[in-house]
Amino acid sequence: MFSLALRNLWRNPKRSAITLSAIVIGAWALIFVWAFIDGMNEQMIANNIQYLTGHIKIHKQGYHKDKVLALSMSEKFPAAIKNEPLISVATPRVEGTALISSKNVSATVLVYGVDIALEPTVTTLHNTIVEGRYLTNKPLEIVLGDDLARELNVTVGESLDMIVQAADGSIGADRFTLVGLYNSGIDMLDERLVMIPVASAQELYSMWGQYTSWVVKLKNRQVVEPVSQQLTIHLGTEYEVYPWPKLLPSVVQAVEFHEAVAYVVLWIVFIVVAAGIANTLLMSVMERIREFGVMQALGTQGIQIIQLVLWESLLLAVIGLAIGNALGIGFTQYWAVNGIDLSAYTEAMETMPGLSAIVYPLLRQDHLLLVSLVVLIVCLLPAVFPAWRASRMDPVQSIRGIAPPALIANKIEQVLKIPSRWLWWQLAWRNLFRNPKRSYITSGASAFGMATFIFLYAFADGFFEQMITNSTQLLSSHVQIKALKEGKRETVFLSSSISQDLLEMPEIQSSSPRLVMDSMVSSPHKALPVNWIGVNPETEINVTRLQTLVQEGSYLEVSSKLGGEGVLIGRTLAEDLKVSIGHKIVVTTQDSQGQLLSTALRISGIFFSGSELFDRGYVFSSIEHVRQLFSLPEDSISHLAIRLSDRHDSQGVANRLSAALNGTQLKAQPWEQIMPVVVQMVEMTQVDFYLILAVIFVVVGMGVMNTMLMSVLERVREFGMLLALGTLPSQVLRTVLYESLILGAAGIIVGILAGLALAQYYHIEGIDLSAFMDSMAAIPGVTDRIYPVIIPSNLILPAALLYLIGVVVSIYPALKAASLQPVEALHGR
């Protein structure tokens, strides 16, 4: 049977080539898509480790969670670090937060006090200096990111003031000279991280001779877990050892998010590939019914026919996998060396921690083996059922190729009332029902491909829509009017300077005033940077849905039991500060003259949105209290938030408002400018989705093409009979093309209906992604349930292309059939 199977592959090389092409394209697609996602993940991990954390960090027990400076260490390096053979080098640090100020602008930053000699041996941020120089042993020097320098409006050589909460609870402050600017390409670092000499940090935080961290670089990143375990044993319970996955939760979240997307999409790719291969194999087996009938008539047993088909499928799978792996690995390796240039999405890439504009796909042996195994299984399973059916058929019927009468075709034809003059349309129509299985498989390829595209598009559009809708409803609104500013400082203006007639545009639904301050919030436990927003509680509810998110306490209402001014904070921030309803927190910010002001606010409410960025980074109080604290006029604001009836009008409304405000210090911004991170995140996710959709389209298109080719080529005898009876070659050509047009249309229509039904079902029920919420917590606006959204314009292109492919690929075999010699065709040559 093996020898016969091997000969059968070469007996009909066209059929074998078509089947092989489905396997090759499927293996290539899976290898490339997975390597692309693995490459992005590896880039994020490697860049963050080398720029920021090293492979392992060691602290006093409890420091990593609470960041309490009192949990410091006096020893520079313990024996456990010095004696571990897998450790390459280590460096001590002092890490903390601070409020940094230039002449009239302030920002909250993360401070690294570093050892000038050892730090460059562990991390490589010093290699990204773009202006000035790196730190020296001179005291009170500072290096920061170029993005932060632009926000602070400072250049190399100027002075910056830093104020901190010291280890003993006192307020520490010092003036530093800016000596260098770096550009890592990672927004998280370039906008927030500053470096100073470790001695200056110890002085600033009142930690003389003390360190908060030891940062370790390993000889091999892959041994991080066993080395961490060994260090934990040797250092004892007094210390905590954190490998990089625990140090970089945002990176791990981004990687897990990519993997979650990868597994969802790869699962769909697997199904698409399986369907394409299965369709081709099914058609390949079904068109050989006469052959199996002859074998049975000559005494071949049913089990031997099954063995023959399985051997053929296995041989095709092995050959196809060999070619597919060679092409997939070669194609992927080319891009792994040269990189895939995604510079058009540079801003989107930089929102993902550690990603840059050039992505290098990464081939992993375990993924290659898994792809090969899946494709191998896919090649064997579809052939089992038709082979089993063929082995049980009556030999006489198999040889004659007896098909059921086309009763359904006749009935539908009568309903449709196809005119008799459309003879070849009638013949094409009846041919479809003369062999319904073949027709189902052929049109099923188009239907499955179309349904897959609709659902994937709906899932992607639903994901993007949720990010945008939730983000605008949580904070930004659709349009904001604000004053021009320098750096990060929001300029205060009077709301009365905006004409009320201007706000009566038909697109504008409501508006609400705000005062926004970059601040530091602290409790007896710790201090964290936040945005402090003063709002009008009565009008804010018409612009955002903040009031619906309150889980504990009340929405910006002063309770007589609590007393004092109420403040609303996120649940994640409350957990970090270890505070609850009724506790007081201290908010520190900078006034317009550059002076620092602090006020104690009592927590009256705690909200929870499900977005970690929002729940940790914002506190809300009444706008009246902020005005009183800063002695501002009664109608002073920094932003006017505007909600529209339709968010898609944001750009047009913002342009019209800005034109009306021309000549003033005010401008209007749409949400796309207010929240570039959301736009960039959408663009970043679109890079993944659309690249993968392109690969899937190639696979689906090949599946449709292979099935169409197999459907036409297996009817050589039929076409020979038509030609022998006097049918003109042009009429044979017309019949085949008409059949393709009907099958393609039927497949597309069925696919659209199935895809719409599936997308609509999940649009109502939602797709539960709670298992992946840890990986999506850092993505703005995303919750644990995605609701697919159908955008009709997204259906036109894939439907047209799939239909066109089904028709175009039938032209060649139709021309081939029309040019056949009747005698040769009747002999199946």
Q: Tell me: the pLDDT tens digits for 678-723?
A: 776 676 666 666 666 676 666 666 666 666 666 666 677 777 777 7
Residue pLDDT, tens place only, 33-74: 788 888 888 887 877 787 778 888 888 888 877 778 888 888
Strands 358-359, 596-607: pairing is unpaired
Which bin fits 753, alpha (ψ -120 to 50), beta or left (φ > 0)?
alpha
pLDDT at residue 559 in the model: 40
Question: What angle do helix axes 436-471 and 249-286 make, rounded to 10 degrees?
Answer: 170
* Residues 515, 604 contacting (CB under 8 angstroms): no
Q: Which of 368, 309, 381, 375 is nearest to 20 (CA)?
A: 375
Question: What tokens does 294 get?
Answer: 């002859």
Query: Cα–Cα distance between 505 and 41 in angstroms, integer?
Result: 46
Which residues lie across from 93 on neighbouring strands?
Answer: 114, 213
pLDDT at residue 558 in the model: 44
Residue pLDDT, tens place only, 96-108: 888 898 877 888 8
For the chain, the helix, strand and coil percentages under 3-state DSSP, each to the nearest 5: 55, 20, 25
What number is the average pLDDT over the span 220-246?
Answer: 86
Residue pLDDT, tens place only, 152-161: 889 999 999 9
Query: Cα–Cα distance between 385 and 158 in angstroms, integer?
Result: 78
What number is the average pLDDT over the span 788-801?
Answer: 80
Query: Cα–Cα distance between 109 and 96 in angstroms, integer?
Result: 9
* Residues 567, 599 contacting (CB under 8 angstroms): no
Alpha-carbon separation of residue 330 from 336, 374, 522, 530 (angstroms):
10, 20, 55, 49
- Position 467 pLDDT exceeds 70: yes
Residue pLDDT, tens place only, 283-338: 666 667 677 777 777 777 878 878 887 888 888 888 989 999 999 999 999 999 98
- Position 406 pLDDT exceeds 60: no
Which bin fits 201, alpha (ψ -120 to 50), beta or left (φ > 0)?
alpha
pLDDT at residue 580 in the model: 92
Least confident of 110-114, 235-239, 750-754: 235-239
Whole-number average pLDDT of the chain: 80
- Residue 137 per-residue DSSP state: S
Query: H-helix or E-strand containing 483?
Result: strand 479-483
pLDDT band for 561, please (50, 70, 90 cuts): very low
Residue pLDDT, tens place only, 248-285: 766 776 677 667 666 766 676 667 666 666 666 666 66
- Residue 647 per-residue DSSP state: G
Q: Which of 649, 531, 486 is nearest to 102 (CA)?
A: 486
* Residues 347, 676 contacting (CB under 8 angstroms): yes
Cβ contacts of 321 within 8 Å, gap of 6 or more? 23, 27, 372, 375, 376
pLDDT at residue 487 in the model: 47
- Position 415 pLDDT exceeds 60: no
pLDDT band for 181, please (50, 70, 90 cuts): very high
Q: How many residues does the chain have?
A: 829
Measured between its terminal Cα atoms, the distance across the chain in Å is 24
Residue pLDDT, tens place only, 597-633: 888 889 999 998 877 778 888 999 999 888 888 888 8
Least confident of 98-102, 355-359, 490-494: 355-359
Give me the helices (H) in 542-649, please. 571-577, 612-617, 623-629
User: pLDDT: is 533 or 452 the higher one?
Assistant: 533
pLDDT at residue 466 in the model: 80
pLDDT at residue 718 in the model: 75
Query: Cα–Cα distance between 269 and 36 in angstroms, integer?
Result: 14
- Position 212 pLDDT exceeds 50: yes
Amino acid residing at 92: P
Residue pLDDT, tens place only, 115-130: 999 999 888 888 889 9
* Residues 553, 581 contacting (CB under 8 angstroms): yes
Query: H-helix or E-strand containing 416?
Result: helix 407-416
Per the listing, tokens 């530093």 go with: 176
Question: Cβ-count burial of 375 within 10 angstroms (0-12 exposed, 13-18 middle, 19+ buried)?
Answer: buried
